[in-house]
């Protein structure tokens, strides 16, 4: 059974479940991937903790992982980029395979783009701070938005969380297109709230928007289909 | 924490989570309802079991309920109409409050329509067979589709489960509008797959389509907001 540690945010968790389903070839209910999902929106804000002005979410996330294992999860995915700052510490506690969103993203980008390609990364301020994507995408030239665009991006991400999607789309879209106009080959939507706002019909150039959450969903479905004793119950 | 026994089908579960979110007033992640969701699509087909040609899903559903309780659920909702045939037996095993989809639907219909209103019910053949909605809506005049329309409706429901949404919309829509044309005041979408196919933009007369899953979602959010010690952890 696939475990999902979610609620960071809750809409991104539902979006991730949708991606798992749309990546699954199924003729009826019974062919879909079984999942146990802990959507725990009360986990303290990851960005605030990384930037030094909020409580530590790590104990909450570890409790979530143990809850999922106890409920029968045989592998666990976490559809939140910023949370992956704590990936090594979470992995230390996990008894089952803990999938890594940044690795799943990096694997697919390596299959899609040549080394040295210029990739714009849209993420929370905290994710930039952790250098998660710069370290995960060492073979590429990684570009971040300018400081004033970073501000706009954070407004867009917060707007997604509070359900103001058109405001979110306008803020995030402007930042994304400025990175493409500056010569980036693609933009990586490295915060799970971003693809919720930049849904395909609204984006000028959808094939240049890469969604790490979709890469993680494909990885989950692939592992489920190729399951052995370790993940196959 | 709200428990959701899902996977019947998986898309309906995700739709139900979306409804919980859209019924919640939240400014940030932390104000959303925490949930533990068991999406167990391998639970044997409920319709087949009721119609006497499939394995019994009840032990699987009871195991799911106990799993959710063990994981910390303090109330449990089941976004599948047909599964409510076994509601009394599931309630016998549950230690926490098991919400009833048909009751939540009936409560809202009583607030919306006068006694004696004519309500068309769209459901699986198995749900009709169990008389769940005829018994749940005793104050109304309940109308079922004609036999040939029932066939069309089952094709539509199966098409939703296999992701053929436009086919589903066409089949289910025809049955629904025939009930309205016959003089029904509203149609009750009494299978969780139906609102997935008849999404608002496609329906000629959206206010005459009543969604029991949305009523259950509102009930969950209301109980969560008014929570006391029993459901409030």
Q: Considering just the CA atoms, what is the radius of gyration of chain A in Å?
A: 17
* A118-134 tens-digit pLDDT: 999 999 999 999 999 99
* B113-172 tens-digit pLDDT: 999 999 999 999 999 999 999 999 999 999 999 999 999 999 999 998 888 889 999 999
| For residue B144, cis peptide bond before it (omega within 30 degrees of 0) | no
Worst-scoring range by mean pLDDT, A21-25, A67-71, A72-76, B68-72?
Answer: A21-25
Residues with Cβ < 8 Å from B180, sequence gap 6 or more? B120, B187, B205, B208
Per the model's pLDDT, the better-predicted residue between B205 and B98 turns out to be B98
- Cβ-defined contact of A34 to B18 (cutoff 8 Å): no
Vertex A137, ends A135 and A138: CA angle to 5°?
A: 70
Tell me which residue of B126, B99, B97, B95 sits closest to B191, measured CA to CA.
B126
The span from the CA of B120 to the CA of B187, in Å, is: 4
The span from the CA of A174 to the CA of A153, in Å, is: 9
Q: What is the model's pLDDT at position B227? A: 82
Active site residues per annotation of B: 80, 191
With a cut of 70, say whether residue B190 has pLDDT above it: yes
Asked if residues A224 and B39 have their Cβ atoms less than 8 Å apart, the reply is: no
Burial class (CB in 10 A: 0-12, 13-18, 19+), A109: buried
- Cβ-defined contact of B71 to A30 (cutoff 8 Å): no
Asked if residues B37 and A39 have their Cβ atoms less than 8 Å apart, the reply is: yes
Helices (H), chain A: 10-22, 46-50, 58-71, 87-93, 101-112, 125-130, 132-136, 147-161, 165-181, 194-197, 212-225
Tell me which residue of A130, A66, A142 sits closest to A106, measured CA to CA.
A142
Region A205-210: what's the mean pLDDT? 82
Q: What is the model's pLDDT at position A89? A: 97
- Identify which of A29, A32, A161 has the shortest CB distance to residue B29: A161
- Cβ-defined contact of A17 to B17 (cutoff 8 Å): yes
Average pLDDT score, chain A: 92
CB atoms within 10 A of CB B208: 16
Region B190-208: what's the mean pLDDT? 77
- Identify which of B8, B37, B42 has the shortest CB distance to residue A39: B37
Give percent of chain B with pLDDT exceeding 70: 94
Region A139-168: what's the mean pLDDT? 92
Q: Which residue has the tokens 């010690």?
A: B229
* A216-227 tens-digit pLDDT: 999 999 999 988
Asked if residues A215 and A16 have their Cβ atoms less than 8 Å apart, the reply is: no
A92 CA: distance to closest CA in chain B (Å) = 22
Q: What is the model's pLDDT at position B25? A: 87
CB atoms within 10 A of CB B135: 11
Partnered with residue B76 across adjacent β-strands are B3, B98
- Cβ-defined contact of B162 to A42 (cutoff 8 Å): no
Residues with Cβ < 8 Å from A109, sequence gap 6 or more? A119, A137, A140, A188, A210
Task: State whether residue A36 sits within 8 Å of chain B by CB.
Answer: yes
């Amino acid at each position: 059974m696939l475990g999902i540690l979610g609620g960071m945010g809750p809409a991104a968790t539902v979006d991730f479940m949708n991606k798992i389903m749309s990546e699954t070839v199924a003729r009826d209910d019974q062919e879909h991937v079984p999942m146990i999902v802990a959507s725990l929106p009360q986990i303290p804000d990851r960005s605030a903790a990384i930037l030094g002005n909020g409580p530590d979410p790590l104990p909450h996330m570890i409790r979530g992982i143990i809850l999922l294992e106890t409920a029968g999860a045989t592998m666990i995915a976490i559809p939140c980029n910023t949370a992956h700052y704590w990936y090594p510490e979470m992995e230390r506690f996990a008894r089952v395979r803990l999938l890594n969103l940044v690795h799943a993203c990096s694997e697919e980008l390596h299959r899609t783009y040549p080394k040295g390609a210029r990739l714009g990364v849209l993420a929370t301020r905290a994710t930039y701070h952790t250098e998660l994507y710069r370290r995960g995408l060492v073979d590429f030239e990684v570009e971040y938005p300018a400081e004033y665009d970073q501000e706009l991006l954070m407004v867009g991400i917060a707007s997604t969380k509070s359900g103001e999607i058109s405001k979110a789309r306008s803020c995030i879209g402007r930042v994304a297109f400025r990175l493409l106009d500056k010569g980036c080959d693609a933009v990586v939507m490295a915060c799970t709230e971003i693809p919720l706002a930049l849904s395909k019909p609204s984006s000028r150039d959808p094939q240049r928007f890469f969604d790490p959450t979709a890469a993680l969903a494909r990885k989950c479905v692939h592992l489920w289909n190729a399951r052995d004793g370790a993940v196959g119950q």
